[in-house]
Amino acid sequence: MSLIKGKSSFFISICCFYLGFLIGNLFGTFLNFLRNQVIWDGAILLIILLLFELLNFLIYNKKFLNKYFQKIFKNVQLGILLGFFIDAFKVGS
């Protein structure tokens, strides 16, 4: 029974990771639109930084008792960061 639960947990983790990766790539796609709407590029970076710090606060808070949601948030965050990293290579080439 624990093997089935482990496989389900792994599947959810992979899906959340890919969701974060998709969000990271979509951000790179819509970055030109955001640059036209926001006066300063630093404001976009500041908003992203604040969102990640809020996510880290939620993940690593001792009162965050549910380990299942903690794992989901970590995987989404890792996927977003990997999406940003790969999108940076696309912009550089």
Model's pTM, two decimal places? 0.79
* Cα–Cα separations (whole angstroms), residue 59 to 18, 81, 89: 19, 15, 28
User: Average pLDDT over the chain, rounded to whole?
Assistant: 83
pLDDT at 21: 94
* pLDDT digit string, tens, across residues 2-40: 545 667 788 899 999 999 999 988 888 888 887 888 887
Query: In the chain, what is the straight-line distance between the N-terminal and C-terminal CA atoms, in Å?
Result: 48
Which residue do the tokens 């969000």 mark?
23
